Every structure is written in C-alpha cells, then in structure tokens.
Amino acid sequence: MRPRPLKERVLAVVALIRDRRIATYGAIGRYLRISARQVAFVLARLTVGEAEIIPWFRVVAAKGFVSTTKLGAVGRRQIARLRQEGVLVTGRNRVAEFATVAWGPGEWKPVTER
C-alpha cells in the first residue's frame, strides 16, 4: 500500500485521460474510492506548474457540464482548451456527445497495472 498524498493520486488519474476524451469528477472519485468533492477540491488547488502538465480541463461535472464556468477566466480557459483538441462545447457549457467522449468504466487502463 502506498499512502501517497490524495493530491498525487488524483493527478495521476487525471493524467490518464486521453486526448479528445473527458472524465467526470464522480467517475474519478469512484475509481479512487473518494468523493467527487475531493477530486474537485484537489483540482481547485492546482499550482500554475501543475496546471501546465495535467489535463485538468478534461474533467467536467456530471452530465458533461463544465462546472468551472462560474469562475470566469478559469471556465473560459477550460472551454478553450477543450475546443482546441476538438471537443465540442455547446452554449450551455455542456460537452456535446458527452456519452461517447466520456471516460467510462473499464477504460482506466493505466500503465501502472499494479
């Protein structure tokens, strides 16, 4: 067992999300056996350096809504990054075709098999 910091484990999983795909806070939380709030809390405290190497923008709320939009600049940055890699975001801040681009169960195939 490796009692690594919660932050470290969350970032490791977020880093697994492939290009043009997204994941929800809840899905990541269930994978790590923590609540969705904890995932959100970690991402909310990312440093500038971490934000550059971690695809935090591929993490959205349940149903595919971009929940950072209420934060103004951060929300616009997330939508911009998503669109840059071809993920369509509608005017209601929702990821189009959410069901098909969402990272689903069984797709977590990290290199760290064990």
Partner DNA sequence: CTGTTGACGCTCT
Partner DNA sequence: TAGAGCGCCAACA
Q: Which residues bind DNA (CB under 7 A)?
A: 5-7, 24-26, 29, 34-41, 43-46, 51, 56, 59, 61-63, 67-68, 71, 74
Question: Minimum distance from CB of 114 to DNA (Å)?
Answer: 23
Look at the alpha carbons of 20, 24, 27, 33 in this order and tell me if their dihedral is positive or negative: positive
The string of DSSP codes covering 37-63 is: HHHHHHHHT--HHHHHHS-GGGEE-GG
Q: Which is nearer to DNA, 44 or 53 (CB)?
A: 44
Question: Minimum distance from CB of 15 to DNA (Å)?
Answer: 13
Q: Which is nearer to DNA, 3 or 113 (CB)?
A: 3
Question: Minimum distance from CB of 86 to DNA (Å)?
Answer: 20
Mark out the alpha helices in 1-114 (DSSP H runs): 6-14, 25-32, 36-44, 48-53, 73-84, 98-101
Q: Which is nearer to DNA, 19 or 113 (CB)?
A: 19
Q: Which is nearer to DNA, 20 or 103 (CB)?
A: 103
Question: Minimum distance from CB of 111 to DNA (Å)?
Answer: 24
Phi-psi bin for 34: left (phi > 0), alpha (psi -120 to 50), beta?
beta
